[in-house]
C-alpha cells in the first residue's frame, strides 16, 4: 500500500503555481484570471490560456505599511504589469532595488514565497515579477 500524498507535494502539482493561466474566449479576448464569462463580449465559451509571463511595468508604489502576514517583506514594490498579450496584472516586484524601477521596465513572472504560516509550517507560493534577465 502506497503512502498518502503530502499536502506540500500535492500543491506542487498545480500548474497555476508556475505559469500564468488565464482565459481566452471564442472571440479572441484574453483575460486574467480566467472567468466563466468574457468581460468584453459576454461569451460563455472560454478556454484556458497560458500567458508568456512577460510584460512591462505600467506604474508602481512602495508598500510601507503591509497587511498582516506581509511584514517580512516591508517595504516592498507593488506594480501594475501589462502582459505582452494585453491583460494587466497587479503583482509584487521582486529581485529589484526600488530605486531601479521605471515605467516600461521589462519584467517576467517568477514563482516566489508569498508568506509562511508559522503555526502550521505551510509556505504559500505565488507569482511575482522581476526584471528580465539578459
Residues 6+ apart with CB under 8 A from 132: 54, 106, 107, 108
Residue 78 three-state SS: strand
- The answer to whether residue 24 scores a pLDDT higher than 80 is yes
- The domain in which residue 77 lies consists of 7-131
As a whole number of angstroms, the distance between CA 33 and CA 126 comes to 13
Count of domains observed in the chain: 1
Query: pLDDT tens digits for 33-78?
Result: 999 999 999 999 999 999 999 999 999 999 998 887 777 778 889 9
Asked, for residue 62, whether it belongs to a domain, the answer is: yes
Confirm if 34 and 22 have CB atoms less than 8 A apart: yes
Asked, for residue 2, whether it belongs to a domain, the answer is: no
- pTM beyond 0.85: the answer is no
The kind and range of the H/E element at 106 are strand 106-117
- According to the model, what pLDDT value does residue 12 have? 53
Residue 105 three-state SS: coil
As a whole number of angstroms, the distance between CA 46 and CA 17 comes to 21
Asked, for residue 126, whether it belongs to a domain, the answer is: yes
Asked, for residue 113, whether it belongs to a domain, the answer is: yes
Amino acid at each position: 500500500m502506497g503512502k498518502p500524498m503530502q499536502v506540500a507535494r500535492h500543491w506542487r502539482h498545480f500548474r497555476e503555481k508556475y505559469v500564468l493561466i488565464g482565459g481566452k474566449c471564442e472571440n479572441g479576448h484574453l483575460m486574467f484570471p480566467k472567468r466563466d464569462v468574457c468581460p468584453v463580449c459576454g461569451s460563455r465559451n472560454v478556454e484556458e490560456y497560458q500567458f508568456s509571463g512577460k510584460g512591462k511595468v505600467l506604474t508602481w508604489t512602495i508598500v510601507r505599511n503591509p497587511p498582516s502576514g506581509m511584514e517580512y517583506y516591508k517595504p516592498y514594490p507593488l506594480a501594475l504589469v501589462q502582459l505582452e498579450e494585453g491583460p494587466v496584472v497587479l503583482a509584487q516586484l521582486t529581485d529589484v532595488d526600488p530605486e531601479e524601477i521605471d515605467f516600461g521596465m521589462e519584467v517576467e513572472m517568477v514563482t516566489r514565497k508569498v508568506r509562511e504560516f508559522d503555526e502550521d509550517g505551510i509556505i504559500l507560493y505565488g507569482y511575482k515579477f522581476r526584471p528580465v534577465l539578459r
